[in-house]
């Protein structure tokens, strides 16, 4: 039944959602919906707070640890907590608290830089393979199969053992070298799915160039799975750096790293368990925070869960 002019005007004055109809206004995008869900997810809030704290102490470790991580006193080796030294001392007489705080910088730097490198390289190669297909796609698939067959730890022992540089860059380069195939496959599959959508076909019919199709229509709608996988992988890369440093092929003294401290504290775990507990706990909390963040982002960006 048609509404009269007065009835239609009265209905228009009804606040959104009170008349049983859909709220009017600009529809929300996938990203705005995801942010709306993330702000109400306690897992995301807790993990984000932990990560923000880690970033802050990575940038300004002296804000909560005024001492030097390289200042040691052998007379206090393996001693327990004391006033001003809440975590005690390690086997070299170094303050465990100060070294744990300063070790966050190395772990966060390696994790973030390696993730950026992996995401950029893997996304570009995977997107090109998924968009153009053909020989390029076949070659990339075979190359990724080769990299997937390389054991990560064994590859690190072989490649990093011949590098003498004691900086984070060899470790970051190694992670990027072996980490990009995973992101590449995720990006390839996402691009193949998105390029079949109607709006992409319509843009192609209107004469859009391949570069415009890929950058303006496909990439923004295919990047969500890459972000999810990269966020979860960031925690894995932090743990990988600690593992390589523990094995002696990653960072080496006098660099400050949680992996180095865990390795140095392992021989006397019975006499000074605190020297092993704190860097191990910091590493576990950091990895768990990034994994929780990745799970929350995955749930928010997955339309199937709505």
- The pLDDT value given to residue 11: 42
3-class DSSP string for 246-260: HCCCCCCCCCCCHHH
b/e code 251-287 from CB counts within 10 Å (16+ = b): beeebbbbbbbbbbbeeeeeebebbbbbbbebbeebb
Alpha-carbon distance of 166 to 107, in angstroms, equals 15
Residue for token pair 């799915």: 193
Angle at 264 between CA 263 and CA 267, to 5 degrees: 90
CA distances for 210 relative to 132, 139, 217, 221, angstroms: 9, 21, 10, 16
CA distances for 284 relative to 56, 236, 278, angstroms: 18, 11, 10
Please give the residue that has the higher pLDDT: either 29 or 202. Answer: 202
Residue 114's CB: how many other CB atoms inside 10 A? Answer: 25
- The pLDDT value given to residue 289: 94
Residue 10's CB: how many other CB atoms inside 10 A? Answer: 12
95 φ, ψ (degrees, to nearest 5): -70, 120
Which pTM was predicted? 0.83
Query: Tell me: domain 30-61+86-305, CATH 2.40.30.10, correct?
Result: no
Alpha-carbon distance of 245 to 239, in angstroms, equals 10
- The pLDDT value given to residue 303: 60
Residue for token pair 């009265």: 10
- Mean per-residue pLDDT for 282-303? 88
7 token code pair = 């009835």
- The pLDDT value given to residue 1: 43
- Mean per-residue pLDDT for 92-114? 92
Alpha-carbon distance of 213 to 266, in angstroms, equals 54
Could you tell me what percent of the chain has a pLDDT over 90?
A: 39
- The pLDDT value given to residue 196: 84
Q: Where are the domains of the chain?
A: 30-61+86-305
pLDDT per position as a tens digit, 2-55: 444 444 444 444 444 444 444 455 566 667 777 888 888 899 999 999 999 999
Alpha-carbon distance of 117 to 122, in angstroms, equals 8
pLDDT per position as a tens digit, 161-173: 888 778 889 999 9
Alpha-carbon distance of 169 to 106, in angstroms, equals 11
pLDDT per position as a tens digit, 217-272: 888 888 888 998 999 899 999 999 999 999 988 888 888 999 999 999 998 888 88
pLDDT per position as a tens digit, 172-194: 999 999 999 999 999 999 999 88
- The pLDDT value given to residue 169: 92
Alpha-carbon distance of 205 to 199, in angstroms, equals 10
Provide the pLDDT confidence category of residue 304 given band limits of 50, 70 and 90: low
Alpha-carbon distance of 160 to 41, in angstroms, equals 40
- The pLDDT value given to residue 31: 72
């Amino acid at each position: 039944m048609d509404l009269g002019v007065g009835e239609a005007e009265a209905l228009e004055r009804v606040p959104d959602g009170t008349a049983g109809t859909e709220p009017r206004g600009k529809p929300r995008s996938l990203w705005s919906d995801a942010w709306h869900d993330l702000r109400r997810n306690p897992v995301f809030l807790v993990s984000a707070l932990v990560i923000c704290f880690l970033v802050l102490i990575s940038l300004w470790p002296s804000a909560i640890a005024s001492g030097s991580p390289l200042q040691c006193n052998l007379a206090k080796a393996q001693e327990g907590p004391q006033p001003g030294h809440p975590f005690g001392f390690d086997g070299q007489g170094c303050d465990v608290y100060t070294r744990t705080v300063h070790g966050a910088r190395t772990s966060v730097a390696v994790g973030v830089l390696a993730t950026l490198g992996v995401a950029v390289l893997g996304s570009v190669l995977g997107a090109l393979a998924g968009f153009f297909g053909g020989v390029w796609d076949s070659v990339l698939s075979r190359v990724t199969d080769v990299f997937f067959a390389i054991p990560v730890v064994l590859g690190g022992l072989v490649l990093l053992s011949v590098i003498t540089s004691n900086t984070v860059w060899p470790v970051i380069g190694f992670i990027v070298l072996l980490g990009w195939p995973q992101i590449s496959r995720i990006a390839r599959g996402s691009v193949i799915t998105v390029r079949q959508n109607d709006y992409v076909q319509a843009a192609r019919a209107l004469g859009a160039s391949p570069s415009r199709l890929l950058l303006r229509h496909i990439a923004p709608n295919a990047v969500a799975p890459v972000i999810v996988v990269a966020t979860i992988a960031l925690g894995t890369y932090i743990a990988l750096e600690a593992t390589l440093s523990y094995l002696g092929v990653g960072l080496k003294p006098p660099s400050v790293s949680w992996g180095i401290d865990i390795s140095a504290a392992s021989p006397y775990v019975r006499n000074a368990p605190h020297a092993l507990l704190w860097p191990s706990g910091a590493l576990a909390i950091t990895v768990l925070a990034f994994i929780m963040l990745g799970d929350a982002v995955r749930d928010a960006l997955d339309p199937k869960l709505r």
